[in-house]
């Protein structure tokens, strides 16, 4: 009998609280403006790549596009290492070390631009 009462109390307690077992979010443009964040980050990185490499956009952008298409995403983390046109400016320095300011510019701009839509932070 005591066990029966304890089970009933447990059921009542569980039923009185909303249970959320799964939360599915499409964060791209649902919770924040993905296009704005991507553009801010990519543009900052591109500016640094152009400055450090001495290349112009007409040379660099088609190579970036080819890597993005091959990877199937414009958020490809290994982009810089796969662009042949960036190698000469790096000389004997490792490519990722030479272009570290471009990577940092990307990260800083992404962090600065990343903000939830006002309505998404209420829940």
Each residue of 26-59: pLDDT tens digit? 666 788 899 999 999 999 999 999 999 999 999 9
pTM: predicted TM-score of the whole model, two decimal places: 0.75
Q: What is the pLDDT of residue 122?
A: 60
Ramachandran assignment for 69, one of left (phi > 0), alpha (psi -120 to 50 degrees), beta (any other): alpha
d(CA 12, CA 63): 62
- Based on DSSP, count helices (H) and strands (E) in the chain, helices before strands: 6, 0
């Amino acid at each position: 009998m005591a066990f029966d009462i304890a089970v009933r109390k447990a059921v009542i307690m569980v039923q009185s609280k909303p249970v959320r077992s799964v939360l599915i979010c499409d964060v791209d443009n649902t919770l924040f403006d993905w296009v704005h964040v991507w553009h801010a980050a990519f543009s900052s990185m591109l500016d640094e790549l152009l400055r450090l490499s001495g290349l112009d956009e007409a040379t660099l952008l088609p190579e970036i596009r080819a890597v993005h298409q091959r990877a199937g995403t414009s958020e490809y983390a290994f982009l810089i290492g796969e662009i042949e046109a960036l190698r000469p400016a790096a000389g004997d320095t490792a490519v990722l070390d030479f272009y570290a300011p471009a990577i940092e510019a990307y990260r800083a701009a992404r962090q600065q631009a990343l903000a939830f839509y006002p309505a998404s932070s209420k829940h």
